[in-house]
Chain A
Amino acid sequence: MIVEIGHFALVLALLVAVFQMVVPAWGAHVRDRELMATAEPAALCQLGLLIVAFLSLINAHVSSDFSVANVVANSHSTKPLIYRISGVWGNHEGSMVLWVLILALFGGAVAAFGRNLPPTLKANVLAVQASIAVAFILFILFTSNPFLRVDPPPADGNGLNPILQDPALAFHPPFLYTGYVGFSIAYSFAIAALLEGRLDPAWARWVRPWTLLAWMCLTIGIAMGSWWAYYELGWGGFWFWDPVENASLMPWLAGTALLHSSLVMEKRDALKVWTILLAILTFSLSLMGTFLVRSGVLTSVHAFAVDPRRGVFILAILSLFTGGGLALYAWRARELRQGGLFAPISREGALVLNNILLTTACATVLIGTLYPLLLESLTGAKISVGPPYFNLTFGPLVVPLLLALPFGPLLAWKRGDILGAAQRLMFAALLAVVVLAIALATLYRGPILAPFGLAMGVFVMAGAVSDLAYRARLGSVPLAETWRRLKSQPRSAFGSALAHFGMGMLVVGLVATSAYREELIRVMKPGEEASIAGYTVAFRGVAPATGPNYREVVGLFDIARGETAVTRLEPSKRIYDMPPQPTTEAGIHAAWRGDLYVVLGDAQTGGGYAVRIFFNPLVRFIWIGALVMFFGGGVSLSDRRLRVGAPGRARRLPAAAPAE
């Protein structure tokens, strides 16, 4: 019964979304306030209905209702509660329901907190949001309905793939989706602005917090996925340039460009037309990510042709929103007035460079991801575009981006002083050179470019600190005064410095672990020892163990540094009950200087076990860097300036309304 209520709520949500798509937009067209005002309750009503639908699906999974096909296919009665819940979005159908729910959450947030938006803009934004919802709810109902029953119900379900039964993965999809779907707000605002032909700095101010929120969630979502791959897949890799990864990287790159260009638009009323285009492209890339992953086109062009229903539907949605958005852009963009003049060497100029490089990097990933698919469908030739291609093309684009990054915040708007900025970066550059010299002198192995990569990461980190130090006039005024100045800086200044610092950390981690990883592969018998990166790894033997829904063989490894015992690592080989599938659980000892990573392999015929031991230097910097970027975004989001367009605070801060 509850399942039917959910199903019914989803259908009702579709009807409400159709209403919300048509009536407010018509109202905005004929300037009828009452018709426009219907958008608000409609968005909230749609949100309420989708919450009901989603909760009923969760209920079916939690109570293991095996009369529901979706539960049978993806759940099992012995599965722990948390994975029964995360299993809701751990499958195609449920994940699409989560997708529209998050879409409705953003729509509802605009409706509830966007009181200070001009009524026509708000009506149009909510109407565009609703049109996306209509497309996706139709997709769910016609091709991916999770509420269908099976008769007769089986005794138990097929279970969730064990490698997905993991805390990081339980929360990876909601973050990733919040990122993808959050960019829909930027898209809707862009379309609404094009429809109205009106675009001012206040527009950027309204869009920025939403974009920032989406960017933060996408950042953390991607980082979680990569962290999961690192510890769960058992070979210590964290990024594979896999098409599915690329699908999430592209919106991130475009979204990062959008964040920076909307800054120019907000502060200087320039780059307006470009920002609008970027908003459309960013969400289109999010849609494409959904298409690439959901259509099966990645597994093979043929798999797509065998069951094209879902793929064609999403492709239609993608073409409609991308094509429609771009067509509207081509038609109306000329009417948007360009404003804000600036010299090439200026903050704006630096942000233009940022956008040029980020969008080119994004295009490179796009081309590398789609090229083999297109080539195969056009000529039948099968080629692979793997990590070497991306390292050769994406890498060189990122280098100038990172080198220029610390200069950007130090340049003034309109006309900057590049020599002055360089002077302020002297300390950062000096530190980078010292790191370079030390790395060149002490690290004999690894690629010759790696020390330069490390130095570049350090330059970005130190550059972010220099930015704050300069703002506080550190060194040129007394310390108390510096402290006072630092405290009076807007939060957005701290936010961007933090995010840039995190980026630098990420670069250091990436370079260090890719270039200087150590590895040992050998057969170990109980009692044998191995040494790697200053650690002694002593194999003590194996022991059997059982978990809630698996059995495992646990290897016991005592780790010591010199004479002092450090820890005991217990990597294991697991067999899950349902589905019966083996997984490896790595034993990881994390430390600042790097991770010791031990994997237990198969028992050997001659006795002993195959053991693989890695030392991944500074690998934590990658995810800590991403976390720092996330918090940087959060700090920036709490800035007074952005609260104007953001939830709740606006009404309490009438004085902070746009001064322009």
Chain B
Amino acid sequence: MTRSAPAAGWFAALVALAIVCAPAFAVEPDEILPNATLEARARSISSGLRCLVCQNQSIDDSNAPLARDLRVLVRERLKAGDTDAQVMQFVEDRYGEFVLLRPAFNAHTLLLWLAPLVVLLGAVWIGVRALAYRRPQAAAAPALTIAEEEKLRALLSDEKERTTD
């Protein structure tokens, strides 16, 4: 279906999944747990688990039958008294790291998690270095001749008139 997907807009993947998943209704009334606290925990856990059918949605947003099964599974584990982490682990053990929308911090993802910080430090370093480079240059700039200084003064007073206008 990617062929008939729309123009290079970002929605192409959404479209591809919407074909499988439409109409998107996701969490059905009969799934909801009577215990509000437990249900809130279930919602927050499901929004961190990726639907394996509609790949760019969490199971909380997905309408696919598999997502529904997973949502029910999450709720069953919660009812059985699991902690949030245990539920996550339970799902990950069965479906793999792929289901975690928040990638785990491990050898595979070390670069992923550190990269933004490294880029930021690099960018700051380049910025600071560029600034530092400028200053000695400023000192080394040749002094103005008398004629140039007069011209400059004339220009500046001109400018001042214009800006204070």
Interface string of B1-37 (1 = CB under 8 A from A): 1111111111111111011001111111110100000
Provided the pairs A169-B6, A584-B23 are in contact, do residues A229 and B103 lie with their beta carbons within 8 angstroms? no
Which residues of A sit under 8 angstroms from B9, Cβ to Cβ? 169, 172-173, 176, 221, 225, 244, 248, 293
Taking the complex as formed, is A237 at the interface, i.e. its CB lies under 8 A from any CB of chain B? yes
Q: Does A147 contact B (CB under 8 A)?
A: no
* B25/A393 in contact, CB under 8 A: no
With contacts A169-B11, A233-B18 known, is A91 near B25, CB below 8 A?
A: no
B152 CB-CB contact with A under 8 Å: no
Q: Is B13 a contact of A242 with CB atoms below 8 Å?
A: yes
A109 at the interface (CB under 8 A from B): no
- Whether A142 sits at the interface, judged by CB under 8 Å, is no
Inside 8 A of B57's CB, which chain A residues have their CB?
240
Let me know if A91 and B6 touch, CB within 8 A. Answer: yes
A73 at the interface (CB under 8 A from B): yes
Q: Mark B96-112, 1 if CB is under 8 A from A, else 0.
A: 11111111100011011
Given that A176-B7, A584-B25 are known contacts, is A298 also in contact with B13, CB under 8 Å in the complex? yes
Task: Select B29's contact among A173, A382, A488, A523, beta carbons within 8 Å.
Answer: A523
B165 touches A296 (CB 8 A): no
A383 at the interface (CB under 8 A from B): yes
Is A541 at the interface (CB under 8 A from chain B)? no
Q: How far is the CA of A359 from the CA of B119 in the complex (A)?
A: 9
Q: Which positions 148-187 of chain A face chain B at CB distance < 8 Å?
A: 158, 160-161, 163-164, 169, 172-173, 176-177, 180
State which residues 33-78 of B face A: CB under 8 Å: 48, 50, 55-58, 61
Question: Are B24 and A234 interface neighbours, CB within 8 A?
Answer: yes
CB distance from B45 to the nearest CB of A (A): 12
Nearest-CB distance from A509 to chain B (Å)? 19
How many angstroms from the CA of A163 to the CA of B21 in the assembled complex?
12
Contact assessment for B10 and A235 in the assembled complex, using a CB-CB cutoff below 8 Å: no
Complex CA gap A436/B108 in Å reads 40
Task: Tell me whether A173 and B112 are in contact (CB under 8 A).
Answer: no
Residue of B nearest to A396 (CB): B116
B29 engages A522 (CB within 8 Å): yes
Q: Does B160 contact A (CB under 8 A)?
A: no
Q: How far is the CA of A359 from the CA of B116 in the complex (A)?
A: 10
CA distance A115 to B129 in the complex (A): 39
Chain A residues with Cβ below 8 Å from B101 are: 384-389
Q: Which residues of B contact A359 (CB under 8 A)?
A: 119, 123
A451 within 8 A of B: no
A229 touches which of B14, B19, B130, B134 (Cβ 8 Å):
B14
Binds B, one of A13-21, A364-372, A452-460, A627-635: A364-372
B131 CB-CB contact with A under 8 Å: yes
Nearest CB in chain A: distance from B113 CB, A: 8
CB proximity of B52 to chain A, nearest CB, Å: 10
Which residues of chain B have C-beta atoms less than 8 A from A612's C-beta? 25-27
- The answer, yes or no, to whether A131 is at the interface (CB within 8 Å) is no
The smallest C-beta distance from A338 to any residue of chain B, in angstroms, reads 8
The answer on a CB contact under 8 Å between B116 and A393 is yes
Further pairs besides A229-B14, A584-B23: 9, Cβ < 8 Å: A74-B4, A160-B4, A172-B7, A367-B112, A382-B98, A388-B101, A389-B101, A581-B19, A583-B22
- A-B contacts, 6 listed (Cβ < 8 Å): A91-B3, A98-B7, A172-B7, A242-B10, A521-B28, A599-B25
